[in-house]
Amino acid sequence: MLAFVVRRALEAVLVMLVVALIAFALFRYVGDPINQMVGLETSFEERQQLRQALGLNDPVLVQFVHFVWRALQFDFGVSYQFKRPVTELIAERFPATMELAFVSALFSLVLGIPMGVYTALNRHSWLSKLFLAVSLIGISLPTFLIGILLIFVFAVTFQVLPSFGRGEVVKLGFWSTGLLTGSGLRAIILPAVTLGLFQMTLIMRLVRSEMLEVLRTDYIKFARARGLSDRAIHFGHALKNTLVPVITVAGLQLGSIIAFAIITETVFQWPGMGLMFLQAVQNADIPIMSTYLLLVSGIFVTINLVVDLLYVSVDPRIRIDRRVA
Amino acid sequence: MVEQLQVPPLRNEGRLAAALDSDLLHAFLRSRIAVAATLITVTLVLAAVFAPWIAPHDPFDLRQLNLLDSHLPPAWLADGDPRYLLGTDDQGRDVLSTILYGSRISLGVGILAVGLAAALGIVLGLIAGYAGGFLDALIMRIADVQLTFPAILIALLIDGTGRALFGEHRNETLEFWVLVLSIGLSFWVQYARTVRGSTMVEKSKDYVLAARLIGIHPAKILFRHVLPNVIGPVLVIATINLALAIITEATLSFLGVGLPPTQPSLGTLIRIGNNFLFAGEWWIAIFPGITLALLVVAINLLGDWLRDALNPRLQ
């Protein structure tokens, strides 16, 4: 077990180093950092001095080591657009994205699991067919189109929910939250539904197929033979055993929720990291792009690592498999 | 059905007859969803291909545009103009015509991107599966790392890098190809993994061994002999990926990092229309949106059906 943990952790570090190399290459070679920092009237000598001062004349390997060293201390340089340290900008927008991701993940689990259980238990009811049809749309339609349709229905036609921004926010230390005010709660509904719809349909379909699989097994038949109530069988025995893959997928999907937040944040003008990253792509603001890349990969790699380890500690069958293989 | 499988491989002269008499065609005609999805897909593709001939207006011909005709609602509404069936946008362009031209661009980017991804994935997968060892480990490690990240993020990143690299020199053609490249490069992994898996199985079979014994060049063995045996699943992935590539393109264009308004894809059209949604001019965004949704759902259904139909375990 320890060897497995160590190997996985080493792999994660390796992946992060590769990502850091890409981020560094972006930063160093795409567009001249000096040109972005100085005005047109700066002379050639001054540019050379700045180049020397910033260490851009050092060997590339030394520069890369410096880059990683600074990144470890959360120093990612200054944004070309905003002329402010990237770390500051990210810290300001981090809470907005995290709240959106958290609420939409919650939404997808709270709705997805019961819908999955229902469609598995009542395979032929019309409601199940409706759920499955809706899930097909949820999987097929692009996120931004769902967002626009929701805005059109709830913000433009019925005018019941706001279509942009976070509403009022409350400061809790460094964290600004919109979850404590009425307008903030109303503002998060449409973006969270937009972002969570795909995950919800995914979880629903997964729970459904896992439930169908489990309901066929012998121990469920045995439980029925023992005369247990349907409730106890369905929720105590069947659902419990479907949850391991659901936890894995939900965990891994957290990463893609953060990535797809870029789209949702743009549609709803949600002031999070995704919106800032997109503006950085539009304006070729490399420091923000490379920082976002590092941050998001850090989150992804951590999630993958945690899910891997959780999986092994939750499901003993996997441990045996690995030892044999 | 089992008898069908035991028929020896047919020569060219029998292929058409075999295709007309195959299980696949019968299964296809029996599935109402598959037929409907095909009809929708074919209609939309034909409409896109023949856009210059069937579109009522040429939305890119500035002489035909009249700002007095802008913001007109669809023809069946009170202020509608019968010349513009689905209304006009802010520049007085006919929405129906822009949709036709837009699907052309969306499909073009999608098909080229899937082609690029498939070609790259097949070549790398064949090499990894056949060569094994270091090359295999290297290619598959890159694939693993890339698979950690959602495709849309990778496409955005490549697209952003391209924009930064070309800076002010970029133009419509360049943006088109940067888009194709960024989507293509973000989808190759799936093909590589599938092809690698089946190549490793094929590699140990007698016909490959025989080919190697008589000294055929490895490249020829791979492309002439192994490739035809591993291509089946690739076609299924490609169909499903086409829908994904079209969505990705639309998303990038909607986000404003795809195609410019002068060369609008469906995504760009929705982006333009989104600005007028609050003014109640829903038709500018909603009609391209419906077209995109129809196209994607139809292709997805077709891909799903194809996957099930070609899966021997389900027959």
Q: What is the pLDDT of residues B48-74, one digit of tens each?
A: 888 888 877 777 776 666 666 777 777
What the block records as the tokens of A324 is 């044999």
Tell me the residue length of chain A: 325
Mark yes or no for CB contact B148/A255 under 8 Å.
Answer: yes
Burial A278-294 (b: 16+ CB within 10 A, else e): bbbbebbbbbbbbbbbb
Q: Which residues pair with A172 in a beta bridge?
A: A175
Residue B90, in any domain of the structure: no
- The answer to whether residue B3 scores a pLDDT higher than 50 is no
Residue partners of A286: CB distance under 8 A and separation at least 6: A26, A27, A30, A31, A33, A36, A80, A280, B164
What the block records as the tokens of B21 is 């008499």
Confidence of residue B19 (pLDDT cuts 50, 70, 90): low
Stronger pLDDT, B309 or B102, i.e. the higher one: B102
Residue B35, in any domain of the structure: no
**In what helix (H) or strand (E) does residue B182 lie, and over which residues does it extend?**
helix B172-186
End-to-end CA distance of chain A: 14
SS3 A176: strand
Nearest-neighbour CA in chain A from B72: distance (Å): 19
Mark yes or no for CB contact A145/B282 under 8 Å.
Answer: no
Mark yes or no for CB contact A286/B270 under 8 Å.
Answer: no
Minimum CA–CA partner of A289 in chain B: B157
- The answer to whether residue B6 scores a pLDDT higher than 60 is no
Query: Hey, which residues 6-65 in chain A have their CB within 8 Å of chain B?
Result: 15, 18-19, 26, 30-31
Across residues B291-315, what is the average pLDDT?
Answer: 78
Residue B214, in any domain of the structure: yes
State the count of interchain CB pairs (< 8 A) between A and B: 109
Count of domains for chain B: 1
Mark yes or no for CB contact B148/A304 under 8 Å.
Answer: yes
Mark yes or no for CB contact A280/B250 under 8 Å.
Answer: no
Q: How far apart are CA A243 and CA A207, in angstroms?
A: 8
Spell out which residues of chain A touch residue B149, defining contact as CB-CB under 8 Å.
259, 296-297, 300
Q: Which of B160, B247, B274 sits opposite A289 (nearest CB)?
A: B160
Mark yes or no for CB contact B152/A259 under 8 Å.
Answer: yes
Residue partners of A317: CB distance under 8 A and separation at least 6: none
Residue B242, in any domain of the structure: yes
pLDDT at A218: 86
Residue B63, in any domain of the structure: no
Q: How far apart are CA B210 and CA A269, in angstroms?
A: 62
Across residues B262-280, what is the average pLDDT?
Answer: 82
Across residues B2-10, what is the average pLDDT?
Answer: 48
Which of A104-108, A255-259, B238-242, B267-271 shows the lowest per-residue confidence on average (mean pLDDT)?
A255-259
Q: In chain A, what percentage of residues exceed pLDDT 90?
A: 4
Q: How far apart are CA A324 and CA A190, in angstroms?
A: 48
Spell out which residues of chain A touch residue B154, defining contact as CB-CB under 8 Å.
none
Spell out which residues of chain A touch residue B251, defining contact as CB-CB under 8 Å.
142-144, 263
Spell out which residues of chain B touch residue A278, defining contact as CB-CB under 8 Å.
156, 255-257
Give the CATH number for residue B157.
Answer: 1.10.3720.10
Residue partners of B224: CB distance under 8 A and separation at least 6: none
Residue pair B55/B101 in contact (Cβ under 8 Å)? The answer is: yes
Mark yes or no for CB contact A15/B145 under 8 Å.
Answer: yes
DSSP code, position B258? S
Q: What share of chain A is helix, strand, coil (3-state, %, to 5)?
A: 75, 0, 20
Spell out which residues of chain A touch residue B186, defining contact as CB-CB under 8 Å.
none
Q: How far apart are CA B212 and CA B202, in angstroms?
A: 13
Burial of B147 (0-12, 13-18, 19+ CB in 10 A): middle
Give the domain range for residue B186.
95-314
* Mean per-residue pLDDT over chain A, rounded: 81
> pLDDT tens digits for A153-210?
888 888 888 877 787 777 777 777 777 787 888 888 899 999 988 888 888 888 888 8
Spell out which residues of chain A touch residue B161, defining contact as CB-CB under 8 Å.
26, 30
Of the residues A13, A136, A137, A144, the best mutation for testing chain B's interface (the one with the most B CB atoms within 10 Å of its CB) is A144
Minimum CA–CA partner of A253 in chain B: B150
- CB of B293 within 8 Å of a chain A CB? The answer is yes
ipTM: 0.78
Across residues B146-167, what is the average pLDDT?
Answer: 78
To the nearest 10°, the Cα dihedral for A278, A279, A281, A286?
-120
Q: Which of A156, A163, A260 sits opposite B152 (nearest CB)?
A: A260
Mark yes or no for CB contact A259/B247 under 8 Å.
Answer: no
Residue B169, in any domain of the structure: yes
- CB of A266 within 8 Å of a chain B CB? The answer is yes
Q: Which of A148, A260, A263 sits opposite B274 (nearest CB)?
A: A148
Stronger pLDDT, B86 or B215, i.e. the higher one: B215
Across residues B263-272, what is the average pLDDT?
Answer: 85
Across residues B90-109, what is the average pLDDT?
Answer: 85
CA B124 to chain CA mean position, Å: 20
The pTM (predicted TM-score) of the whole model is 0.81
Of the residues B251, B271, B287, B299, the best mutation for testing chain A's interface (the one with the most A CB atoms within 10 Å of its CB) is B251
Question: Residue A139 phi/psi, 5° resolution?
Answer: -80, -35
Query: Hey, which residues 131-190 in chain A have their CB within 8 Å of chain B?
Result: 136-137, 139-145, 148-149, 151-152, 156, 163
- The answer to whether residue B92 scores a pLDDT higher than 80 is no
Which of A196-200, B15-19, B136-140, B227-231 shows the lowest per-residue confidence on average (mean pLDDT)?
B15-19
Burial of B40 (0-12, 13-18, 19+ CB in 10 A): middle
Q: Which of B156, B164, B257 sits opposite A286 (nearest CB)?
A: B164
Residue partners of A13: CB distance under 8 A and separation at least 6: none
Residue B68, in any domain of the structure: no
Across residues A98-113, what is the average pLDDT?
Answer: 90
Residue B181, in any domain of the structure: yes
pLDDT at A324: 42
pLDDT at B113: 94
